């Protein structure tokens, strides 16, 4: 059978990996797909560099629309990224009747509803395994492998840059700013790392996973997103002493009244497998009612790990290329006419437990006042740790750190209690609040 022809938009790090892996493993891929898969056309603004990568036999252009206009191209791989021209080109590819494979989590998290509707109307596939957690096949697991389950919750370390920074802060006792510089020097962090360190990248990814897990539209604008820039080495050290590690988690959780969709630093018990995921690695825990807890671990970024997911999508599309669109797996796992209208809950309605650190005056009655406020807010205390002045700061002999772990409560109640505690004259600095996830 004639090989299926693929057009590649953007041959950067992932595009180069995709081209090389597809070429290197072509015999194995062909045996799995039932026919050859060949990248026959590449569009990149740096056409000279692109030609050096692909060599002879592949058409190279600097206009992506030339790929979309080629009637021989069956599948378009979009690796440009961002919300702008990438969205236009993906919609134009769909309109031209071409299947699309993309690694663009930002595009799908923000415009996925429009893109999937256009693809369904045209009878083509939009495949996006590479958009979440790089080489880890979490999309296929949620959409197909766990299809018998009612998904209760998902919690994932889904940004390698932030996990590397937190791992280094813990192991070396350094503050955030120092580790960020090192991460940039080593190439783990971009020159402008905002999307990573502010949690936006993780927010895009957990938004996509939540849509597949619960059959809801992608709604990134309703996700709560908080990054790691305000974390201190001090809190990471205290967490360790209490038996926890701090990780930036993307969390999607089903509740009777709606879906929690949030990204923020979380204390995770050290005994959990996900708490021991170090460096730039990714991991996702999924809790299903039938299967129980499952863990997916691997490289969340990089040229060939991400290429692995892109090519898996190419194989899937090739197998289903001639299938009746009604018989294909829906983009978001649930049939388009059976999507749920479960609301995304605001952060004020989230229920979780908390780590609190208060820098207080070292005098009698302070702890009683703080715990009294928590009791009046119906917030139960799990543990209290107090650090003497010489363990805090030699220049703060009259001060001490008070660390409190709470049981579950609604965020709005915690907000009100924090406001009252912050107003106490014996509370000397802004209270640090980090959410705690037992993941039991």
Mean pLDDT within 236-248: 96
Say how far residue 168 (Cα) sits from the centre of its chain. 20
Residue 61 has pLDDT above 60, yes or no: yes
Looking at 3.30.70.360, 3.30.70.20, 1.10.3720.10, 3.40.50.720, the CATH number of the domain 4-133+303-338 comes to: 3.40.50.720
Beta-carbon contacts of 33 under 8 Å, excluding residues fewer than 6 positions away, are 4, 314, 315, 318, 319
Comparing CA positions, the residue from 53, 64, 58 lying closest to residue 20 is 53
Alpha helices in 159-302 (DSSP H): 160-172, 176-186, 194-197, 200-214, 233-241
What is the fold of 351-436?
Answer: Alpha-Beta Plaits (3.30.70)
Instruction: Kindly report, residue by residue over 167-220, the tens digit of the pLDDT.
Output: 999 999 999 999 999 999 988 899 999 999 999 999 999 999 999 999 999 999
Give residue 393's pLDDT band: very low, low, confident or very high (50, 70, 90).
low
Rounded to two decimals, what is the model's pTM?
0.95
User: What Å distances lie between residue 357 and 16, 75, 402, 410, 416, CA to CA?
Assistant: 47, 53, 6, 19, 16
Residue-wise pLDDT for 95-120, tens only, equals 999 999 999 999 999 999 999 999 99
Q: Which of 98, 205, 247, 299 is catalytic?
A: 205
Band of pLDDT at residue 1, cut at 50, 70 and 90 = confident
Q: Per-residue pLDDT tens for 321-346?
A: 878 888 899 999 999 999 999 999 99
The DSSP letter of residue 72 is: T
Confidence of residue 387 (pLDDT cuts 50, 70, 90): confident
253 DSSP β-pair partners: 153, 260
Q: Is 205 a catalytic residue?
A: yes
CB 138 within 8 A of CB 209: yes
Does CATH number 3.30.360.10 belong to domain 138-299?
yes
398 Cβ contact list (under 8 Å, min separation 6):
361, 362, 363, 389
> What is the residue extent of each domain of the chain?
4-133+303-338, 138-299, 351-436
Mention every residue, 6+ apart, whose C-beta is less than 8 A from residue 435: 264, 265, 266, 267, 352, 353, 354, 355
pLDDT tops 60 at residue 395: no
């Amino acid at each position: 059978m004639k090989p299926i022809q693929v057009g590649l938009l953007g041959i950067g790090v992932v595009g180069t990996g995709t081209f090389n892996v597809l070429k290197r493993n072509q015999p194995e891929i062909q045996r799995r797909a039932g026919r050859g898969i060949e990248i026959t056309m590449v569009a990149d603004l740096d056409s000279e560099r692109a030609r050096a990568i692909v060599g002879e036999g592949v058409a190279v252009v600097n206009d992506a629309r030339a790929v979309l206009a080629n009637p021989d191209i069956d599948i378009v791989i979009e690796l440009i990224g961002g919300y702008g021209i990438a969205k236009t080109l993906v919609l134009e590819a769909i309109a031209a009747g071409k299947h699309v494979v993309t690694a663009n989590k930002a595009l799908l998290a923000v415009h996925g509803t429009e893109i999937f509707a256009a693809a369904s109307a045209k009878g083509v596939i939009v495949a996006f395994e590479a958009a979440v957690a790089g080489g880890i096949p979490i999309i296929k697991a949620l959409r197909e492998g766990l299809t018998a389950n009612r998904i209760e919750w998902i919690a994932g370390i889904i940004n390698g840059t932030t996990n590397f920074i937190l791992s280094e802060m813990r192991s070396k006792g350094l503050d955030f700013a120092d580790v960020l510089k090192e991460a940039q020097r080593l190439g783990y962090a971009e020159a402008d790392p905002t999307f990573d360190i502010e949690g936006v990248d993780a927010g895009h990814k957990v938004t996509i996973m939540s849509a597949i897990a619960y059959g809801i539209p992608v709604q990134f604008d309703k996700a709560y997103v908080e990054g790691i820039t305000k974390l201190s080495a001090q809190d990471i050290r205290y967490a360790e002493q209490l038996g926890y590690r701090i990780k930036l988690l993307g969390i999607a959780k089903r509740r009777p009244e709606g879906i929690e969709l949030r990204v923020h630093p979380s204390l995770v018990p050290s005994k959990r497998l996900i708490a021991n995921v170090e460096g730039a690695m990714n991991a996702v825990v999924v809790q299903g009612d039938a299967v129980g807890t499952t863990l997916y671990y691997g490289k969340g970024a990089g040229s060939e790990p991400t290429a692995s997911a892109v090519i898996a999508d190419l194989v899937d599309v090739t197998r289903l290329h001639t299938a009746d669109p009604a018989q294909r797996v829906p983009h978001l796992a649930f049939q388009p006419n059976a999507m749920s209208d479960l609301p995304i809950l605001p952060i004020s309605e989230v229920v979780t437990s908390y780590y609190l650190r208060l820098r207080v005056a070292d005098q009698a009655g302070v702890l009683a006042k703080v715990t009294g406020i928590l009791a009046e807010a119906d917030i139960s205390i799990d543990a209290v740790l107090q650090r003497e002045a010489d363990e805090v700061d030699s220049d703060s002999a009259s001060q001490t750190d008070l660390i409190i772990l709470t049981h579950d409560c609604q965020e709005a109640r915690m907000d009100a209690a924090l406001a009252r505690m912050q107003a106490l004259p014996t509370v000397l600095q802004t209270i640090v609040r980090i959410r705690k996830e037992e993941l039991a």
